[in-house]
Structure 1
């Protein structure tokens, strides 16, 4: 291929990628723009990304004062961290057993994992709510964490990764006298950090942004998660304060953006090595 053809192909590829990036960034750009506008500026007939009046200070002040933003962020961190740690503790041994151990029920367990991927939380929400109500578990971290402690997606993701680990490495560890628990802790986990990081991104983003389940089991503002806290900006009489709402949304989404940018390399490695395709 000639140099001109390669240059044209690169320009086309970069143009398509740039267009796709702009499409995905458009909501965030509008969110940043709206966070700096006055209420009258938001509902004007003309569309403009640059505010006519800069209301960043007022909107962010409202966002920080109307709700306990620190408490919302703290609850989000605690819930996501507890869910992630328990999910990894359960999913890693399960995936290792299915990938490297020989037993009769391995195929049946794989079928159950695949079936588990098809069951949404909405299908089990009602019986779970009734169960938590019976034991007095509503309005607690337990209600927010317990339904998500077993992740079939995590088991499936780690299973694909562990299959790529050479069996000779496992056999060598057994010859050295390691137990299966020791192999998981000292051989599997150190080599599985790319997959763990990729799963952590999926898990944290999903549960940080989850509104459906906290809306069902939480009525006490002290246990509200970040998405649930955004509902407190709604006012039936005065209308929604979109400027403060977008400012609060920026504060809540910033930790996710920062975490993804910091873990981007490991995330790509984990997705590539587990064989998942977008």
Structure 2
């Protein structure tokens, strides 16, 4: 009897943790389940009292066909791919050398610079919207791909993440590379980055999800429908075509979200390794 009660006491914290995790997961997943459900329902069932995932009349083909044909959804998604890919590549190009300098080089002001990175981490990007808009106007890049890419080239989170990962790499590796005749930039590209693949994948997932779903800045920076990323394109689709026809709107949202879910599920192992790698040291 005592053994059974001891087992119960020991398992209670684990059960509580699982209950909290399941409740949190349900809160996160319910909107997505609802979105998919509405995307396959006819208009008459969307506002019916009571909820059932599967509709009485399947209307998925009509909703998804309308989402793909009445709005240039493939163009919006192509814009998202172009913008997110260029942002990630430029961010790695800028953030990796900066993180290496903060992690492995000793120079005056290193602590101050890292403190500025930490301060930049807590500043919401919306705070900089007005000066960035004015700067974009002065440079003449508004309503172009450059306007969607330029503000995100320097990522404080990317610098922080790569720095934490680079600090886990032994200094002997860097010293050996210098003895082999590599300069500091060559060490970054030929030694550090190949060893930081999990961190790169984790950062790329964060970056792509953030900018794929970004609405605030694209709403300010572009007006041409041919340049709109997916969230702004869906808003334009609602205003111009769908109106209150929520089935095609939810179908468009499902199509936009699906690539992110698939990419995360495919890379989740590297994502976890990249996010926890900096905590080793």
- In the other structure, the counterpart of 2:176 is 172
1:123 aligned residue (118, 123, 127): 127
2:36 aligned residue (15, 32, 41): 32
Question: Taking structure 1 as reference, are residues 77 and 236 closer, same or farther at Cα in structure 2, changes over 3 Å only?
Answer: closer
Mean Cα displacement is larger for which, 204-213 or 63-72? 63-72
- In the other structure, the counterpart of 2:69 is 65
Structure 2 gaps of 5+ residues are none
C-alpha separation in 2, matches of 1:35 and 1:227: 17
Question: Taking structure 1 as reference, are residues 223 and 235 closer, same or farther at Cα in structure 2, changes over 3 Å only?
Answer: closer
Question: Taking structure 1 as reference, are residues 14 and 230 closer, same or farther at Cα in structure 2, changes over 3 Å only?
Answer: same
Mean Cα displacement is larger for which, 49-58 or 117-126? 117-126
The 5 A counterparts of 1:27-176 are 27-176=31-180
**Per-residue CA shift, 1:68-110, capped at 9, x if unaligned?**
1111111000000000000011101001011101101211111
What is the aligned residue count? 276
1:249 aligned residue (240, 247, 253): 253
* Offset at residue 172 of structure 1 (A): 1.3
* Offset at residue 3 of structure 1 (A): 7.7
Question: Taking structure 1 as reference, are residues 107 and 262 closer, same or farther at Cα in structure 2, changes over 3 Å only?
Answer: same
1:20 aligned residue (24, 29, 35): 24
C-alpha separation in 2, matches of 1:248 and 1:212: 19
Contact 1:233–1:240 (CA<8 Å) still a contact in 2? no
Mean Cα displacement is larger for which, 2-11 or 157-166? 2-11
- In the other structure, the counterpart of 2:232 is 228
Mean Cα displacement is larger for which, 229-238 or 97-106? 229-238
Question: Taking structure 1 as reference, are residues 16 and 3 closer, same or farther at Cα in structure 2, changes over 3 Å only?
Answer: farther
- TM-score, length of structure 1 as denominator length: 0.92
Contact 1:194–1:270 (CA<8 Å) still a contact in 2? yes
Question: Taking structure 1 as reference, are residues 211 and 105 closer, same or farther at Cα in structure 2, changes over 3 Å only?
Answer: same
**Per-residue CA shift, 1:130-186, capped at 9, x if unaligned?**
222233311110000000000011101111111111111111111122211221112
Mean Cα displacement is larger for which, 192-201 or 114-123? 114-123
Question: Taking structure 1 as reference, are residues 65 and 105 closer, same or farther at Cα in structure 2, changes over 3 Å only?
Answer: same
C-alpha separation in 2, matches of 1:46 and 1:16: 26
- In the other structure, the counterpart of 1:202 is 206
Structure 1 gaps of 5+ residues are none
Contact 1:209–1:227 (CA<8 Å) still a contact in 2? yes
Mean Cα displacement is larger for which, 136-145 or 172-181? 172-181
* Offset at residue 113 of structure 1 (A): 0.9
Mean Cα displacement is larger for which, 115-124 or 60-69? 115-124
Contact 2:147–2:221 (CA<8 Å) still a contact in 1? yes
Contact 2:198–2:273 (CA<8 Å) still a contact in 1? yes
RMSD: 2.1
* Offset at residue 45 of structure 1 (A): 2.5
**Per-residue CA shift, 1:195-216, capped at 9, x if unaligned?**
1111111100000000000000
Q: Secondary structure at the match of 1:263?
A: helix
Contact 2:99–2:159 (CA<8 Å) still a contact in 1? yes
